[in-house]
């Protein structure tokens, strides 16, 4: 194991308790059943494998564009624990990470999933990491309710910060630029920057208790050591208080007026690039190429979707993954909607719809006929024309109005590959007049479905 000497030393000092329990095989079983593990696998594939990989090796299709890299679970190293240094995580630790996410990294919060599903996913992660048979490790003694933070405790914490050598890595002012900070790497060989405390963002949570656990237990697999012994409880809380004072309040971030530049800032914050190709043509293929989506989608739809992606059902039946709920704010959603229309060279605004006055009975009948012959094999149209789920390749077109731009769809249906060479939609070979009939039929059905 590649571990800095200081981290190794701390590990040796502090794992005695946990190690002894493991040696005697006295750990109680984890609160996980075989059924949880089994149910967790497909959920993991849908929600986590894009980043962490199907096998859990951290090499999912989005991983190449994500920094810090998604965790390789096969190495069994977990940073955010309540257990002693060197010990595996408690089941509750994995659950906490899944529920809260890791702020400042691409790891999203999955609080939007039902608790039961989060538990099943945690079971599968522990199974991949082969950490079930060893049983449930004991957490360190609960530090209890922190004493009130005072200027005196922060001053005492400053002394501890110097005495314990935190400054060596984290720097005198907490900027992560101490003399020992350069060239550090984690156990997976990824370069690892020391945390900059001035940003005030902590992956394991910024409650005082979270910070207490971080330096008391260390962060397994990284150079961040554990300081388990020889520090009094009062001094630990003092250290927490001092670290919190190092935060420099951010000036309100000014968004550029250029929609592309502003969009790049927001997409960087949420690692959208890991899953989507962005304006410069680079990014992952876990979700659609957003240049195509920008040309296709109405701005209202985009704004609503990026804030609550799970409220629409699954869009693309053939995609394995789903878009996680990322906690995008309304202001950011506005920026993202403008960004998408700018990269799709589309005038921002709602999706265009057809003039329904031209929807004569003949035209609708003609459209329905072409639809049945040319489209129904891949697309369902709500309950109007049902296509078996296994056969569905494209989105359910009953949801098309308000989402897909009518004018865009005209060009798309005539020649989808011209717009997106990777599209799975094969050209149905219709004349422009026939396309208009099909569109009139589909849009009138979709609009009717929206107004009950």
Identify the residue among 239, 343, 437, 445 touching ligand HEC (CB under 6 A). 239
Is residue 404 a contact point for ligand HEC (CB under 6 A)?
yes
Cis peptide before 68 (omega within 30 of 0): yes
Task: Let me know the angle formed at the C-alpha of 423 by 417 and 429, rounded to the nearest 5 degrees.
Answer: 50
Stretch that binds ligand HEC, among 9-17, 74-82, 249-257, 348-356 (CB under 6 A): 74-82
Smallest gap from Cβ 160 to ligand HEC, in A, equals 7
From residue 203, how far is each of 137, 149, 195 by CA, in Å? 22, 22, 10
* CB closer to ligand HEC out of 21 and 120: 120
Token pair in block for residue 43: 């959920």
The answer to whether 370 and 432 are in contact (CB under 8 A) is no
Task: Let me know the angle formed at the C-alpha of 388 by 373 and 384, rounded to the nearest 5 degrees.
Answer: 60
**For residues 48-67, which are near ligand HEC according to CB under 6 A?**
48, 50-52, 62, 66
Token pair in block for residue 165: 């050598």
Contact string 7-46 vs ligand HEC (x = CB under 6 A) = ----------------------------------------
* CB closer to ligand HEC out of 24 and 255: 255
**For residues 119-178, which are near ligand HEC according to CB under 6 A?**
121, 125, 164-166, 168-170
d(CA 231, CA 358): 80
**For residues 338-357, which are near ligand HEC according to CB under 6 A?**
none
- What's the distance, CA 452 to chain centroid? 35
Residue tagged 């564009």 (tokens)? 65
Identify the residue among 127, 267, 444, 446 touching ligand HEC (CB under 6 A). 267
Closest of 119, 41, 128 to residue 88, by C-alpha: 128
Stretch that binds ligand HEC, among 13-21, 143-151, 344-352, 370-378 (CB under 6 A): 370-378
Smallest gap from Cβ 143 to ligand HEC, in A, equals 14
* CB closer to ligand HEC out of 356 and 391: 391
Closest of 305, 311, 295, 352 to residue 330, by C-alpha: 305
Please list, in sequence order, all residues whose beta carbon lies within 8 angstroms of the beta carbon of residue 375, skipping any fewer than 6 positions away. 397, 428, 438, 442
Token pair in block for residue 235: 């001094």
**For residues 173-232, which are near ligand HEC according to CB under 6 A?**
180, 184, 192, 194-195, 202-204, 211, 214-215, 219, 222-225, 227
Neighbours of 243 (CB within 10 A): 26
Identify the residue among 120, 438, 443, 445 touching ligand HEC (CB under 6 A). 438
Is residue 369 a contact point for ligand HEC (CB under 6 A)?
no
Smallest gap from Cβ 96 to ligand HEC, in A, equals 9
Is residue 287 a contact point for ligand HEC (CB under 6 A)?
yes
Identify the residue among 146, 198, 316, 407 touching ligand HEC (CB under 6 A). 316
* CB closer to ligand HEC out of 20 and 162: 162
Smallest gap from Cβ 24 to ligand HEC, in A, equals 26
Identify the residue among 10, 15, 72, 79 touching ligand HEC (CB under 6 A). 79
The answer to whether 420 and 316 are in contact (CB under 8 A) is no
d(CA 412, CA 400): 13
């Amino acid at each position: 194991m590649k571990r800095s000497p200081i981290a190794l030393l701390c590990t040796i000092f502090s794992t005695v308790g946990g190690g002894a329990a493991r040696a005697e095989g006295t750990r109680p079983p984890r609160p996980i059943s075989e059924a949880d593990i089994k149910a967790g696998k497909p959920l993991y594939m849908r929600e986590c494998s894009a980043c962490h990989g199907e096998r859990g090796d951290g090499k999912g299709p989005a991983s190449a564009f994500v920094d810090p890299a998604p965790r390789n679970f096969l190495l069994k190293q977990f940073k955010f624990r309540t257990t002693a240094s060197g010990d595996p995580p408690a089941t509750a630790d994995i659950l906490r990470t899944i529920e809260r996410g890791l702020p400042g990294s691409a790891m999203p919060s999955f609080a939007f999933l039902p608790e039961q599903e989060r538990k099943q996913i945690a079971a599968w992660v522990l199974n991949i990491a082969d950490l079930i048979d060893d049983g449930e490790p004991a957490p360190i003694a609960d530090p209890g309710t922190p004493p009130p933070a005072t200027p005196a405790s922060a001053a005492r914490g400053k002394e501890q910060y110097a005495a314990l050598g935190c400054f060596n890595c984290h720097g005198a002012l907490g900027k992560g630029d101490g003399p020992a900070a350069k060239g550090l790497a984690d156990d997976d060989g990824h370069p690892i920057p020391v945390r900059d405390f001035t940003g005030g963002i902590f992956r394991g949570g910024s409650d005082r208790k979270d910070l207490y656990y971080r330096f008391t237990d260390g962060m397994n697999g990284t150079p961040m050591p554990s300081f388990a012994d020889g520090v009094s409880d009062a001094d630990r809380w003092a250290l927490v208080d001092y670290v919190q004072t190092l935060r420099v309040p951010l000036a309100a971030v000014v968004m550029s007026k250029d929609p592309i530049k502003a969009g790049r800032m927001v997409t960087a914050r949420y690692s959208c690039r890991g899953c989507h190709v962005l304006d410069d043509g680079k990014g992952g293929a876990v979700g659609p190429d957003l240049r195509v989506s920008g040309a296709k989608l109405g701005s209202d739809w985009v704004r609503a979707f990026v804030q609550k992606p799970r409220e629409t059902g699954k869009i693309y039946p053939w995609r394995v993954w789903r878009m996680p709920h990322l906690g995008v704010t309304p202001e950011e959603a506005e920026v993202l909607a403008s960004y998408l229309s700018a990269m799709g060279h589309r005038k921002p605004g709602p999706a265009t719809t057809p003039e329904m006055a031209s929807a004569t009975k003949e035209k609708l009948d003609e459209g329905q006929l072409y639809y049945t012959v040319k489209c129904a094999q891949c697309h369902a149209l709500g309950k109007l024309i049902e296509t078996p789920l296994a056969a569905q390749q494209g989105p359910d077109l009953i949801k098309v109005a308000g989402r897909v731009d009518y004018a865009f769809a005209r060009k798309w249906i005539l020649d989808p590959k011209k717009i997106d060479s990777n599209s799975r939609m094969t050209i149905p070979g219709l004349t422009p007049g026939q396309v208009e009939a099909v569109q009139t039929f589909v849009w009138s059905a979709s609009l009717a479905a929206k107004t009950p």
